Amino acid sequence: MTDWSVYDQPALRDSVSSPAPGGRREVLLGIDGMHCAACVGRIERLLAGRASDVGASLTSRTLQFRFDPRREPLSTLLRTLEDAGFVPQVLAQDAGLRAQREERRAMLARIGVAVICAMQVMMLAWPTYTFGGAAAEIDPGIEQLLRWAQALFATPCVLYAGSPFFRSAWRALRARSVNMDVTVAASVAIAYGASLIRTVLGEGEIYYDTATMFVMLLLIGRFVEGRTRMQAGERLRLLAGRRRLTAQRETPQGIEAVPLSAVAPGDTLVVAPGESVPVDGTLLDAAAEMDEALLTGESRAVLHRAGDRLLAGCLNLGQQALRLRAQSVGAATRLAQITQLLQQAQAARPRFQLLADRLAGAFIVTVLLLALAGAALWWPDVDRSLSVLLAVLVASCPCALSLAIPAAMAAAASRLAALGVLSARPEALARLPLVDTVLFDKTGTLTRAELRIVRVEPQAELDEAGCLAIAAALERGLMHPIARAFAQTPSRFTATQQQQIPGRGVEGVVDGRRYRLGAPAVSGDDATADVDTVIELRDERRALARIRLATVVREDAAGTIAAMREAGMNVELLTGDGEAAAEALARRLGLQQVLARQTPEQKLARLEALQRQGRVVLAVGDGINDAPFLAAADVSAAMPLGAALAQARADLLLVGDSLAALIPARDIARQAQRRVRQNVAWALAYNLGVLPLAMAGVLAPWMAALGMSLSSLLVVANALRLRRTRPVQQRPLNYAEVH
């Protein structure tokens, strides 16, 4: 048993949970042992009255709830879950991820044992299949030797490889409940136990082949499903880790590092260059430039002066540490409010999950009752009764049905990975073909989160190369977005006395002369000044050059949007940028519908309005401010360099950093859904067809196991028939299109 008491220590408890209203705390866990909708209901009943806002996700195998540490320590809740057979994994710590990986390795070992043993048992049982079990055709001594050999190989398969089924079933029964593992464990135990007794007695039919094939196929099915589950768990681990922050607090004795939970309103905090602001607060310094792209979507640095409010999560772009007085902490920060929107969007369950929750227990009980009814029908013929019992259990166990969807989803995930798309949630592939509206964020999504030098206009004796060399020397080593635009510009100079002046630019001495690079002294009548960033290089007497920087539009953005519109999808741009920048980008990419200066709440409201009109919406974004509308979208996609919070909720992660993959991804999802329908139809037809035969005594257990095996292989083979698709042709934008 795990020692969960360590999580009652305030430091560790605060590192794995986040503050919630009313003195409560919120925790996100991975859950091992949750295999069906009945398990979801059991978990919610276990925590009823002891925790609030309980939400268990069967797809991602995660559990989120709020608890009051003064009334119910976290350790008792974790122990309750473990005692019921659900092993918690704390996603906010690396230990939880390591435990998941160790469990994956253990599952692979069990599959290996099950495959080897099942193959040997089937080989040893083949004489029985060939001669119909007629003792006259097989020497009794050889037949008994084959029985013991099968028992030898079946034992590690059942007791080691099948141990997870027995543990899960025992915990469910001990809690006076049932799950799918109850039927699995019952059929395997009856088949193995009866066979072992008959092997010792030296007479009667044996079912080692049924038991080993059953274990092998179910383990493979769960492993296929578990691969996607682990991906979803890693995304959610990033979300949990995002909430764990520390702060540098100023005291009379100096600067001390404190956990975020220890920060109180009125404290003076220090934020080093390149670090994010931990809480909402008031700027105490004269001026500071902040990167607020993750919170507001604004691509440019924002100048703040003393007395301005800084939001938690924005980045200090200056060379000096800044000071602020804490105002809103914990759940009252802007970052926490955005996270709360995300949690609310996640809370609603789809209708099919609610239906599965209601029917799960009834289905399991029905299977057990049918098996018992079949056995009673043939009593007192013990051999026939036992044979019917096993045949019904095996035939009713939906192995092919359980593989039908995961196999198709795994094949689709493999095809998507080849295109640079990670499918974190397989259920999104069911909705992707239905998408008729696409909502794009701007910064970091349709454009890259960087600026590019597009024109240099010398105004004195220096040529273009000389101006760029001086400007690159002045910007070298700075973190400002403008400085990053000069990062790849070669320069033979080195700047000294370098000084960054918030809102004005940077000054320094280059080759014995003082220069300043920053906002133009006179803005002029440039029609695109509101769109592009224009900076001016000056010496102590005059302007030397104007340098124009433009947002880098993704090479595949125009082609992707055009392909979406050709496919009949409506495409909209939602951005936190100003109207001029948004309209300019829309003209470049051929977009007619644009909403600028959008807050996270406004983005979410627009999406929900479209959904009320019956639209199926794909949302694509990258920032923290995009997380709520990604969570509420029918399908969501996140960019690989975006915020962890956005990636944690996204159904699709574009690891290839390419929007073009969204078009073939939709085609792959359509193919996958076709394969799913075919697989489910076949699996249902198979189960409904063999069940009457099993109850009638026509279908022997080994025949049911063999048919189940062939049925499972058929659905897997069908799932692998996905066609390869070609991505959208990428076409770089020329200068005329950019401007």
Q: Going from the N-terminus, what domains does the chain have, and what CATH number goes with each?
A: 246-335 (2.70.150.10), 424-446+555-666 (3.40.50.1000), 449-552 (3.40.1110.10)
Can you read off the two tokens belonging to residue 352?
A: 């099919």
pLDDT at 436: 92
245-270 confidence digits (pLDDT tens): 568 888 888 888 777 767 888 899 99
**SS3 for 688?**
helix
Can you read off the two tokens belonging to residue 73?
A: 């320590």
**SS3 for 237?**
helix
Instruction: Pick left, alpha or beta for residue 477 (phi over 0 → left; psi -120 to 50 → alpha; otherwise beta).
Output: left
Quote the CA–CA distance of 536 and 519 in Å, as a whole number. Answer: 6
Torsion of CA 143, 147, 152, 155, to 10 degrees: 170
Q: Which residues contact 309 (CB under 8 A, 6 or more apart)?
A: 280, 281, 282, 283, 327
DSSP secondary structure code for residue 51 in this structure:
B
Among candidate residues 410, 442, 412, the one with its CA nearest the CA of residue 639? 442
pLDDT band at 333 (very low <50, low <70, confident <90, very high): low
pLDDT at 100: 57
Q: Which residues contact 177 (CB under 8 A, 6 or more apart)?
A: 38, 42, 361
Among positive and negative, which fits the CA dihedral 380, 383, 388, 393? positive
Choose from 77-91, 319-333, 542-556 the range with maximum mean pLDDT: 542-556
Q: Which amino acid is at 326?
A: A
Among candidate residues 579, 607, 609, 604, the one with its CA nearest the CA of residue 594? 579
Please state which of the ranges 180-194, 396-410, 544-558 shows the lowest mean pLDDT: 396-410
Bond from prior residue into 380 cis (ω within 30 degrees of 0): yes
Kindly provide the b/e burial profile for residues 594-613, where b requires at least 16 CB atoms within 10 angstroms of the residue's own CB: bebebebeebbebbeebeee
Among candidate residues 230, 220, 228, 644, the one with its CA nearest the CA of residue 429? 228
Q: Which residues contact 434 (CB under 8 A, 6 or more apart)?
A: 616, 634
Instruction: Pick left, alpha or beta for residue 447 (phi over 0 → left; psi -120 to 50 → alpha; otherwise beta).
Output: beta
Give the number of other CB atoms < 10 A from CB of residue 238: 17
Can you read off the two tokens belonging to residue 96?
A: 């939880």
Bridging pattern class, strands 309-310 and 315-316? unpaired
Residues linked to residue 501 through DSSP beta bridges, in sequence order: 505
Strands (E), 409-481: 422-423, 437-440, 447-458
pLDDT at 159: 93
Spatial contact of 72 and 51, defined as CB atoms under 8 Å apart:
yes
pLDDT of 354 above 60: no
Q: Which residues contact 734 (CB under 8 A, 6 or more apart)?
A: none
Average pLDDT over residues 332-361: 49
609-647 confidence digits (pLDDT tens): 999 999 999 999 876 667 777 888 889 888 876 655 566
Can you read off the two tokens belonging to residue 469?
A: 């060399």
Can you read off the two tokens belonging to residue 36?
A: 């069906």
Q: Which amino acid is at 369?
A: L
Query: What angle is formed at CA 374 by the lines to CA 370 and CA 378, rounded to 5 degrees?
Result: 165
Quote the CA–CA distance of 79 and 61 in Å, as a whole number. Answer: 18
Average pLDDT over residues 571-586: 82
pLDDT band at 240 (very low <50, low <70, confident <90, very high): very low
Torsion of CA 402, 28, 627, 287, to 10 degrees: -160
pLDDT at 96: 44
Q: Which residues contact 112 (CB under 8 A, 6 or more apart)?
A: none
Host H or E run for residue 736: helix 735-738
How far, in whole angstroms, is CA 80 from its chain's centroid?
A: 27
Bridging pattern class, strands 437-440 and 617-621? parallel
309-310: strand order across its sheet: 254-259, 246-251, 268-271, 322-328, 280-283, 309-310
Host H or E run for residue 595: strand 593-595
Residue pointed to by tokens 């390869």: 724
Can you read off the two tokens belonging to residue 359?
A: 């029917």
Average pLDDT over residues 120-132: 75
Spatial contact of 507 and 499, defined as CB atoms under 8 Å apart:
yes
Mean pLDDT of the chain: 76
Average pLDDT over residues 520-539: 66
Catalytic residue ranges:
441
Tell me how far CA of residue 111 lies from CA of 219, 414, 702, 713, in angstroms: 6, 21, 21, 16
pLDDT band at 35 (very low <50, low <70, confident <90, very high): low
Give the number of other CB atoms < 10 A from CB of residue 488: 9
459-489 confidence digits (pLDDT tens): 888 889 999 999 999 988 876 778 888 888 8
386-405 confidence digits (pLDDT tens): 888 877 877 766 556 656 66
304-323 confidence digits (pLDDT tens): 888 888 887 777 888 888 99
Choose from 337-351, 513-527, 666-680 the range with maximum mean pLDDT: 666-680
